[in-house]
Amino acid sequence: MELYLDTANLEEIREIAGWGVLSGVTTNPTLVAKEFSARGERLTLEGFARHLRAVCEAAGGPVSAEVTALEAEAMVAEGRRLAEIHPHIVVKLPTTVEGLKACKRLSAEGVRVNMTLIFSANQALLAARAGASYVSPFLGRVDDISWDGGELLREIVEMIQVQDLSVKVIAASIRHPRHVTEAALLGADIATMPYPVFQQLLKHPLTDLGLRRFMEDWEKVRP
Ligand code: G3P
């Protein structure tokens, strides 16, 4: 399973890319808005394109960039503009009727599409039929309403295998390391997570303690 960062923050991307374990990045309008607000920068089309280009360079792999249009014609136009920014761009579309229509058209043009806000296996099936390259079920938001995000992911992964569909599954809305393990065990192709979850994947008190003891023992006999 590949590991993606769910962020629009360049420092976070550069840090995790430096670990040698980052395969891609996902963004959404909330994350982009947060990034520009934090920098006190007004969002312009040029500024957004420049930022996305920098994200693509830092990520070194696929970067999902979401359209904000809600109607298919406008989604297609926006998707084309996003795809032209950098070869790494994957156009992210909401799983709505208009999103499906836009997905069909953009996919036919060779633009990779990530269908987002997936909360059922049937939505994933529709996205796959519309030519999506990726589907993004939101595990954490399903758990938030006391349903089972893991069960949603299990159904989608199984359905794709049984139906021999070529779409890849991005386990999204990851909230904690257990979600990552669960996604890997269930056969997700990718898990996308916020920066703090990446840090949590690595940290273990016994690793820190063990290393400290090794170093203390070594110091006692050090040549
Ligand atoms: O980027 C989509 C998804 O990962 C959002 O996660 O935490 O806002 O539910 P969250």
Ligand 1 centroid–CA 88 distance in Å is 20
Whether 92 is catalytic:
yes
Which atom of ligand 1 is nearest to 175's Cα? 7
Protein residue with its CA nearest to atom 10 in ligand 1: 173
pLDDT digits (tens, 9 = 90+) for 60-89: 999 999 999 999 999 999 999 999 999 999
Q: Which two structure tokens, joined as six digits, stand for 17? A: 């890319």
Ligand 1 centroid–CA 193 distance in Å is 8
Q: In this predicted structure, what is the pLDDT of residue 89?
A: 98
Which atom of ligand 1 is nearest to 28's Cα? 1
* C-alpha distance from residue 69 to each of 4, 16, 78, 109, 161 (Å): 25, 31, 7, 19, 32
How far is it, in rounded angstroms, from Cα 135 to Cα 132?
Answer: 7
* C-alpha distance from residue 220 to each of 206, 208, 209 (Å): 21, 19, 17
Q: Please tell me if the CB atom of residue 4 comes closer than 6 angstroms to any atom of ligand 1.
A: no
- Decide: helix, strand or coil at residue 217: helix
Q: In this predicted structure, what is the pLDDT of residue 223?
A: 87
Produce one character per residue of 30-62: b if its CB has 16 or more CB atoms within 10 Å, e if not: ebbeebbeeeeeeeeeeebbebbeebbebbeeb
Ligand 1 centroid–CA 136 distance in Å is 10
Q: In this predicted structure, what is the pLDDT of residue 135?
A: 98
pLDDT digits (tens, 9 = 90+) for 7-58: 999 999 999 999 999 999 999 999 999 999 999 999 999 999 999 999 999 9
How far is it, in rounded angstroms, from Cα 141 to Cα 118?
Answer: 10
Q: In this predicted structure, what is the pLDDT of residue 149?
A: 97
Global pTM value: 0.95
How far is it, in rounded angstroms, from Cα 170 to Cα 191?
Answer: 5
Indicate which residue of 92, 104, 168, 220 is catalytic.
Answer: 92
Ligand 1 centroid–CA 222 distance in Å is 49
pLDDT at 125 over 90: yes
Protein residue with its CA nearest to atom 9 in ligand 1: 173
Q: In this predicted structure, what is the pLDDT of residue 171?
A: 98
Cα four-point dihedral sign 148, 152, 157, 158: positive
How far is it, in rounded angstroms, from Cα 168 to Cα 172?
Answer: 12
